Amino acid sequence: MAMKASLEKIAPVFGSSFNIRKFTNPETCKIPHWHFHPEYEIVYISNGKGKRHIGNHISHYEDGDLIFLGPNLPHFGFCDQFMEEHTEIVIQMKEDFLGKDFLNSPEMSQVKQLFERSKQGLIFDPTIKQLVGKELLTMPEMDSFDRLLSLLKVLKKLAQTEAYTLLNASGLTLEVQAQDHGRINTIYQHVETNFKQEISLDEMANKVNMTVPAFCRYFKKLTGKTFTHFVNEFRIANACQLLAEGDLPISEICYESGFNNFSHFNKQFKLITGNSPSKHRKELKTFVM
């Protein structure tokens, strides 16, 4: 039986108004857990590859990541199960962590806008990731006062930069009935496990005890996209990871990602990423060099 999307209860560390955790062990990257929480969340991953699965957004990152999520935006963990050695910093805070009207003060106007943008999910460019990452890495060892000042500096940098991508992941938030959490989790877990195979609408509708027409309407209403498009996005995210990891022939990546038609794979890849697979690989190599 699939696990329902769970509410993660977060308590700030003693003497602090927000929660900060540091992970350095690859074993902390367990099987992803579909969860949500009312806190805003900053996630910094120093290096390595992984998948972003935030609301209805799916993508792949190649060399660490810096993510800012708004409240109640459901997501999986961001690192792969067998990820290389890395450092991960997670900061979680409520909107009123410094007082009910703190964000309404004139000095915090840019940060207030940042918080609003984060409700759709934000990822930051590598230069900002490195800059802010240095600050985040030192925060766990600070005393509570300096840690708070450091967080405000981080929020200022994130609020002032334009080097970010808006994920538009707000199409799926947990302002829905509890039964929807379980259904969506069942759907996502099934696609995660079986995306290399054909997943029929009959099969998926049966998994959540719905007729095919009802399932199609339900999924489109909840995520803003068809189930077929969602599965293709998941497969293309896997293809992007394979393109980045080595020199596997693109024709083989097509089949390893669940497509049985090379022409269809190319069409979907360009539709979802804006590039052809070969151009995507070439740009990745240029970036690494």
Domains along the sequence of the chain with CATH: 6-170 (2.60.120.10), 195-288 (1.10.10.60)
Tokens, residue 61: 């990152």
User: Which of 197, 201, 221 lies closest to 210 in space, CA to CA?
Assistant: 201
Distance CA 70, CA 86 (A): 24
User: Which of 42, 39, 33, 38 lies closest to 5 in space, CA to CA?
Assistant: 33
pTM of the prediction?
0.65
pLDDT tens over the chain, length 289 residues: 333 344 455 555 555 689 998 888 655 554 455 667 778 999 999 988 877 878 767 777 888 999 999 987 877 777 654 456 788 999 999 888 888 888 899 999 999 999 999 988 999 999 999 999 999 999 999 998 999 999 999 999 999 999 999 887 654 444 445 566 678 778 878 988 899 999 999 999 999 999 999 999 988 887 778 999 889 988 888 888 788 777 889 999 999 999 999 999 999 998 888 889 998 888 766 544 4
- Rounded to 10 deg, the angle between the 144-160 and 126-138 helix axes is 170
Distance CA 278, CA 260 (A): 18
